[in-house]
Structure 1
Amino acid sequence: MRWVRVAVAVLLVSLVGAANPAWACACGGYLPDAESRARVFGENALVRFDGTQEEIVLSMSVQGQSKKAAWIMPVPTAAKVELGDSDLFQRLQSVTRPKVVTRKTYWPFRDLGIMGGGRGDSAGAAPGAAVDVRQQMVLGPFQVARIAGTSGTAVTDWLGQNGYAVPAGLAENLTPYVTEKWEIVAVKLAPKEAGESMSGATPPLRLTFPSSRIVYPMRLSKGASTAQTVTVYVAAPYRVDASTLPVADVKPELLYAGRVQGESYAQLAAPTSFLTAYSVTYRDPSRITDDFAFTRASTDEEFQRVRYVTENDGLLSTLAIVLGVPLLLGIAAAFIAVRVVRRTRPGQ
């Protein structure tokens, strides 16, 4: 069977009649309700792959407030949809943060690159129907519908008829996935209490499906209207390289590579215990033409960023340096002078 790339795309507001709303999300779009100006400025995703199955856990970072929102998620085969762990990404950020190394310095040499000071980071449808509604369910704060369509237009028509705002260009951007026979997971999200607004990070949602390779969706992101930052954590039996990029000349930054163990990281248990993390910002999302694809790296060498912190060693050490250096220089000068005088005396 020919596997195609997975996509997780388009956050939409659940509001009928919004005219040509702006997209803003690394995975496709976030549309606030008509009374707000909320935008998604980034996303965190954990991609787990054990060789036969892939799992994506996704959470969006929202700036501003919105009363309703929705996700549209194309997947290559029928996916199991569940709620994700609410503090997953906090733990991942903790394990992948830079190692802090303290360097001593001595006033007045501080921040001059002298005495070991340093700055910065270093590395190291039912047949014949236009849309087939396969399943509808309520999952925590989400209302989930799994659908299949004969065209991108058929899918967006169904979305519009069921309370989703449809941005210009969505049908065109969905067409490659529909052509490749992907299933569409449409997910609505609303606040817990009526009248409340949503802001901050969206609750994580987990999708699990069969796959023979590691992919992360980005093709729908070309519809985003603002710069987007994407951080992808890949858990696999081995270290991975980003072998296919959404924008060929925009390289992601490697944040971390290493084996993760411990009860706090049960989701990264063997065989998917090697974690590789990348982050990238797309300042012009319209240039995105492909998904991320990850393949096994040539080595399982571990990597962790290093952040250097400069500290002054204290008053006494400073005085020792400030007073001691001239004193030593004076003693040396006196010794040299004595030697010179002795050599110039008659008979010496």
Structure 2
Amino acid sequence: MKIIRILTAILLAVILSVNFVPKAWAFCGFYVAKADSKLYNQASQVILARDGNRTILTMANDFQGDVKDFAIIVPVPVVIQQEQVNVGDPKIIERLDAFSAPRLVEYFDPDPCETYRGGEAVNRQGGATRGLDDERERQSALGVQVEARFTVGEYDILILSAKESDALETWLRQNGYRIPRGASELLRPYIRQNMKFFVAKVNLEEFDKTGSQFLRPLQMAYESSKFMLPIRLGMMNASTDQDLIVYVLSPKGQAEITNYRTVNVPSDAEIPLFVKNEFNDFYKAMFQTAYIREGKNVAFREYTWDMNSCDPCSAEPLNGEELKKAGVFWLTPNSLNNVFITRLHVRYSRQKFPEDLTFQETSNRQQFQGRYILRHPFTGEMNCEAGKTYQQSLSARFEQETKTLSRLTAWKVEDIRKKINLAQNQPWWRTIWP
């Protein structure tokens, strides 16, 4: 009988645990700092709950630093009012991440002699608005308008419109924001598209009331035919490659990026057992290798699945209440399971500014997951012909796993073999004690 065990591997932890310390959001906007604070961004998570032209965008907050220095500017397609903004629950993003995370799967080979005797085939794979008129009059000379001003939770929010990018940059500087060099050039395309600018900073008094040490996610609801994420501004603070994880929730099926290729992350590969203790390093190396091989203008599909099931499960599916907290607004008592998740992973660098990401919904409900297989050999007595044949086959299997791991990660074959031998020569009690 086949025995299976699931090991959850949370991708965010993989990205951030080794040389990927989170500094700020990396997708929709850039940080604008007071005084001389130096802010950088490297990784981010976004939830897009989308049905038709209606979207609820949730922006995870990985900001590190003094909250009094926090401010961010995000292009948005329409003027957003106070009732369209919400402070979200960070645990929902953690739940989505856990549910869709790339995973290790462990299989344990059965006794080949028992299988042989039974003739059984073995399956090996298994705030209110105030003073806007006065503000608009003061700023009219610059062509910058404050379309809305309100407080939600611990955030003071402005919605700005502008006619010229230079004027918007000047307005921000005059109002005490220290913005990155070159901001005007990157702001210009959004102004030409008549987009607005969502500006959020921390209300320290309200933040103290929360009793939290961390800023919570911001959510905004809007209607627009534009199904996109403005990532170019996020490059302004970037000091290295950035990783963006997008969770698209839809009642229809998979979401795709239309202006970049979308490919499946390498999956369903059998790899050596020692990777169990080095999964973070493995996934980081594997993703970087795939990123280089596929070309830098590629989005990787890491998970697509109906939210009412999973096989194998790295975490339980979100329930109806959790899905609503994630922005799923179309749920009814008769359609609690009508949610499809697409997890996309995009990496981009400062050397090459990518276009903003544009998406489309599809009716494709094909399921996919980033899955990596560990097969434990049978270690008991094998006093039969089938057992001898099985033992003789293990060397070739281990060598194939070695080559597969090298191909996926670009690790040297010699180094992998050494780790396999080291793991095989460990005392038996090391299977339970470190």
The normalised TM-score by structure 2 is 0.57
Which of 223, 227, 243 is the matching residue for 1:214? 227
Structure 1 gaps of 5+ residues are: 1-21, 108-114, 119-124, 330-348
Going by fraction, where is helix more abundant, 1 or 2?
2
**Is the CA contact (8 Å cut-off) linking 1:104 and 1:312 kept in structure 2?**
yes
Structure 2 gaps of 5+ residues are: 1-22, 112-121, 126-135, 263-294, 309-318, 332-337, 390-434
Going by fraction, where is strand more abundant, 1 or 2?
1
Displacement of 1:215 after TM fit?
A: 1.2
Displacement of 1:292 after TM fit?
A: 1.0
Whichever residue aligns with residue 135 of structure 1, its letter is: A
Displacement of 1:33 after TM fit?
A: 6.2
Indicate yes or no: 2:241 matched with 1:240: no
In our comparison, the structure showing a higher alpha carbon Rg is 1
Whichever residue aligns with residue 187 of structure 2, its letter is: L
Q: Per the alignment, in what secondary structure is the counterpart of residue 178 of structure 2? A: coil
Q: Could you report, residue by residue, the CA deviation over 1:215-268 in whole angstroms, capped at 9, with x for unpaired residues?
A: 111122342332111001111222121112399842121121122243232343
**Is the CA contact (8 Å cut-off) linking 1:26 and 1:41 kept in structure 2?**
no
Whichever residue aligns with residue 259 of structure 2, its letter is: T
| Structure 1 range deviating more: 221-230 or 136-145 | 221-230
Aligned to 2:106: 102
Aligned residues: 286
**Is the CA contact (8 Å cut-off) linking 1:48 and 1:235 kept in structure 2?**
yes
Q: Could you report, residue by residue, the CA deviation over 1:100-133 in whole angstroms, capped at 9, with x for unpaired residues?
A: 53212599xxxxxxx9989xxxxxx569542111
Aligned to 2:178: 165
Q: Distance in 2 between matches of 1:270 and 1:259?
A: 15
Which of 78, 82, 87 is the matching residue for 1:83? 87
Seen in structure 2, the aligned counterparts of structure 1 residues 165 and 246 have a Cα distance that, compared at 3 Å, is farther
Q: Distance in 1 between matches of 2:219 and 2:199?
A: 13
**Is the CA contact (8 Å cut-off) linking 1:77 and 1:209 kept in structure 2?**
yes
Q: Distance in 1 between matches of 2:226 and 2:34?
A: 37
Identical-residue share of aligned pairs (%): 23
Indicate yes or no: 2:281 matched with 1:268: no
Whichever residue aligns with residue 277 of structure 1, its letter is: R
Indicate yes or no: 2:246 matched with 1:181: no
Seen in structure 2, the aligned counterparts of structure 1 residues 246 and 167 have a Cα distance that, compared at 3 Å, is farther
Displacement of 1:92 after TM fit?
A: 0.7
Q: Could you report, residue by residue, the CA deviation over 1:263-307 in whole angstroms, capped at 9, with x for unpaired residues?
A: 23234364672211101222x234123111112336221222223
Whichever residue aligns with residue 302 of structure 1, its letter is: Q
Seen in structure 2, the aligned counterparts of structure 1 residues 237 and 147 have a Cα distance that, compared at 3 Å, is same
Seen in structure 2, the aligned counterparts of structure 1 residues 221 and 149 have a Cα distance that, compared at 3 Å, is same
Indicate yes or no: 2:308 matched with 1:250: no
Matches within 5 A, 1:1-348: 25-30=26-31, 39-62=40-63, 67-79=68-80, 80-98=84-102, 100-105=104-109, 125=136, 129=141, 130-189=143-202, 192-193=207-208, 202-223=215-236, 224-238=238-252, 239-245=254-260, 249-261=296-308, 262-263=319-320, 264-266=322-324, 267-268=327-328, 270=330, 273-282=339-348, 284-297=349-362, 299-311=364-376, 313=378, 318-321=379-382, 324=384
